[in-house]
Amino acid sequence: MVAWIPWDQVQAAIEYGPGTGVFTQAIKQVLPGQSTFFAIERSPELAALVRQRCPSVTVYEDTVENVVACCQLSRVQQVDAIVCGLPWASFPETLQDRCLDAMMQVLRPGGRFVSFAYWQGLALPAAWRFRRKLDDYFQQVERSPTVWRNVPPAFVYRCVR
């Protein structure tokens, strides 16, 4: 999830849906010291957990649909990278659209978006709908090989705006 981003060139990055903060911790290890980074987590309980795990990270308790407002609060206009743990396959189409439309307002052209999905999730129509939308929103979309050792097996979408 984190390795594909050229972190040495990142001035600003966001994590969507950090959950328990596993990716947050990995991002902190590779993030250049002078760059801006924050996370957006809808659940207050999980936001508190991420703050506990990574005290130096700003976590907005909000939905990623409001990413523009979060960027304003952090005094960032555009970001270079978005690392995402959102469960897209469980989102209705209107929510997928709102989240992606808002993302396009802050992810710079050439910026990178990385998001994981569970292999079994491909049985869900919403997962394929999300996959098709990626082609509409991004110049380049690739899918990593499935990581069978992950429980459950998962893969990563790597997208360039």
What residues line the site for ligand SAM (CB under 6 A)? 17-20, 22-23, 40-43, 46, 63-64, 85-87
In the complex, minimum distance from the CB of residue 34 to ligand SAM, in angstroms, rounded to a whole number = 25
State in angstroms the smallest separation of the CB of 128 from ligand SAM.
Answer: 19
Among 92, 91, 151, 95, which residue's Cα sits nearest to residue 119? 151
Local structure of residue 86 (DSSP, 8 states): -
Could you give the C-alpha distances from 118 to 29, 45, 61, in angstroms and in order? 25, 24, 25
Q: Per the structure block, which two tokens stand in for 90? A: 């469980």
Q: How far is the CB of 32 from ligand SAM (least distance, A)?
A: 22
Output the CA–CA distances (angstroms, integers) from residue 27 to 24, 32, 53, 86, 92, in the order listed.
5, 10, 13, 16, 29
Measured from the CB of residue 33, what is the shortest distance to ligand SAM in angstroms?
Answer: 23
Distances (CA, A) of 83 to 69, 110, 129: 18, 15, 20
Considering the complex, state which of residue 30 and residue 140 has its C-beta at the smaller distance from ligand SAM: 30
Q: Which is nearer to ligand SAM, 34 or 41 (CB)?
A: 41
Closer residue to ligand SAM (CB): 24 or 138: 24
Q: Closest CB to ligand SAM among 20 and 150?
A: 20
Q: How far is the CB of 54 from ligand SAM (least distance, A)?
A: 12
Amino acid (one-letter) located at 85: G
Nearer to ligand SAM, 63 or 112 (CB): 63
Half-sphere CA count of 31, side-chain side, radius 13 A: 23
Query: Could you tell me how far CA 42 lies from the centroid of its own chain?
Result: 13
